[in-house]
Amino acid sequence: MANSKYWNEKIETMHAEELKNYQLKKLKEQAAHCYENSSFYRKKFDSVGLKPQDIRSLEDLQKIPFTVKNDLRDNYPFGMVTVKPDKIVEIHASSGTTGNPIIGAYTQSDMDVWSELMARSIYTTGGRRQDTIHIAYGYGLFTGGLGFHYGAQKIGTKIIPASGGMTQRQIKLMKDLGATILACTPSFAVYLAETMAQEGIDPRRDLKLKIGMFGAEPWSNKIRERLENDTGIQAFDIYGLTELCGPGVSVECEEHDGLHIWEDHFIVETINPDTGEVLPPGEEGELVFTTLTKTALPMLRYRTRDISKIETAPCKCGRTHARMMRVHGRSDDMLIIRGVNVFPSQIEYAVMCFSELATQYLIVVDRPGALDTFVVKVELSEKASKDPNLNVKALKGEIQKRIHIVTGITAEVEIVKPGELPRTEGKAKRVLDLRKGKM
């Protein structure tokens, strides 16, 4: 039973050596399960002359070849499933719009684990049975909405299954039904806050929100600061992938010093994204996850393309599970502009340094001739747009300087009026790359 601080104190504060022993036991079981029940994994193992019994230590994990997103697409829909069809009780899919979707298949055991991980995650942020959680992630094939739903059900929290869209109605429901927790993408949270301000609603006065659980896309500490200042909530980052289970892989605690990875269910590595070399804790690289308890569609050394670093020292909160620092971008979202690597999160950081700007921005990259053009469109805040003393030319120059300091290249900056850039009720569209076909 959960106490006042932990959902499962024994697991969350497990001694490091005990946790490693547990992981090794589960890794051996998972490797054997994959080899015996999946022709895909059997070929992977055989290609390097590896047998499940060769996994004798956690270091031996590195002998297993990586699994990548295209493996799932190439084996769509059920080519990587490791159980009989009648054992699958639920199916989800990624929100990708091109090619075959990424399938997430679940046995009842997988569903029980997912519910447990989400309950643990919600509880870690301070969510309790007496709370009301407003879930504005999409319901359906996307794992966000139902993942939060199952976790909240396990805690016993009152649930408002709002799903996405209908911004004004969402605000009315949160206000009238007394929501205390908001769960959605950070970009939709920003949109909700903007809409509240436009309609004269003060979240501190008119709503009971105290916690925000935001994920499904990278977001910066600057966005966190804006959200917390605008709404009065405490904002928490949560991480997950359809390939691993959905949300609930890791979550921030009240210390906001990285996201606790639930290591009784996942092993995490960081690698050099170019060479595949495993990096020591503390070095930034691409996150690679191995599932330890998935039965329907396990992942061995799955390359996420998410860029972060791992901290293994125990957290001040008392939890001993390793922490991943905030994901600041994906290696496959990285833009190469005039030979320089640029992440959208770098632009976000630069833009959020200016109180005169709203949180919306759009990166437009093109190649009309031999060289790339790099334009960053930003919006004035409502307050700044009404300031007669605002020097837009000087502000543009300061923004250009900041972007150059952060990225190393010069961008053309366009400052537009409030509300001119497109909004979204799901994941934000931050990049418009017009170079395709011109490379």
Of 61, 4, 20, 3, residue with least CA distance to 320: 20
Give me the residues paired with residue 297 across strands: none
The class level of CATH for 1-330 reads: alpha beta
Domain ranges for the chain: 1-330, 335-433
Task: Decide: helix, strand or coil at residue 29.
Answer: helix
pLDDT tens readout for residues 268-304 = 999 999 999 999 999 999 999 999 999 999 999 999 9
pLDDT tens readout for residues 344-372 = 888 988 998 999 999 899 999 998 887 78
Q: What number of CA atoms fall less than 13 Å from residue 303's CA on the CB side?
A: 24
**Contact by Cβ (8 Å): 356, 295:** no
- Distant-in-sequence, close-in-space partners of 178: CB < 8 Å, separation ≥ 6: 132, 208
* pLDDT value for 187: 87
Rounded to 5 degrees, what are φ and ψ at 188? -70, -35
pLDDT tens readout for residues 236-263 = 999 999 999 999 999 999 999 999 999 9
pLDDT tens readout for residues 14-66 = 999 999 999 999 999 999 999 999 999 999 999 999 999 999 999 999 999 99
Quickly list DSSP for 266-329: EEEEEE-TTT-PEEPTTS-EEEEEEESS-SSS--SSEEEEEEE-EE-SPPTTS--S-EEPPP-E
pLDDT tens readout for residues 157-213 = 999 999 988 999 999 999 999 999 999 999 899 999 999 999 999 999 999 999 999
What is the C-alpha separation between 325 and 254, in angstroms, rounded? 14
What is the C-alpha separation between 271 and 65, in angstroms, rounded? 13
User: In this structure, which topology does domain 335-433 adopt according to CATH?
Assistant: GMP Synthetase; Chain A, domain 3 (3.30.300)
* pLDDT value for 422: 86
* pLDDT value for 222: 86
* pLDDT value for 96: 56
pLDDT tens readout for residues 299-338 = 999 999 999 999 999 899 999 999 999 997 777 777 888 8
